[in-house]
Amino acid sequence: MAHGSGPDRRLGELLHRTAGGDEAAFAAVYDALADTVMGMACRILRDAAQAEEVTQDVMIEVWRTAERYRPDRGSAKAWVLTLAHRRAVDRVRAVQASTERETRAWRLSPDRDHDEVVDVVEGNDERRRVYRCLASLSRLQRVPLVLAYYQGMTYVEVADSLSTPQGTTKSRMRAGLRQLRACLEEGR
């Protein structure tokens, strides 16, 4: 029996059928979750092309490993989103590792076009400004934004985790983003 009720139960049943090789069931799972997976990947990666690749990889993984889904451990949607989150984070780590390799190679290169100290200082300054501006927000605005941007949650997931109505959460996040944007722009 699938976890939860309604759509969650239906997705669980579809995953069970997918595990048995039912292509129509997989198509239904894909239609139900591909956009959500893409949204999460976009938030984490900040790159639509990479998010599309991650979405495709995750949905292929769902097809291949649907038998691993365990309804007693959570909803089908949560299982798929966990796969997506892990895959997106892995992609971020791979990009960071590649960037670090390129940076090391660049440092070994005798012909440098710019001062690396300036890059480090500018990066640190940018981080400090973001933290300062986040700290200037009210707790009601800051917490949902931190959950959304640093934990990769949707506003619906943020609302659920904070036990706050979705509309209220969405309004607080919008107001917080406006204030954050204004703070960052005045600090330039």
How much of the chain, in percent, has pLDDT values that exceed 70?
87
Give the tokens for residue 71.
């309804």
Q: Confidence band (pLDDT; 50, 70, 90) for 145?
A: confident
Mean pLDDT across 6-35: 93
The pLDDT of residue 94 is above 90: no
pLDDT at residue 120 tops 60: yes
Amino acid at site 28:
A
For range 1-30, the mean pLDDT: 86
pLDDT: which is higher, 25 or 98: 25
Q: Which residues contact 184 (CB under 8 A, 6 or more apart)?
A: 129, 130, 133
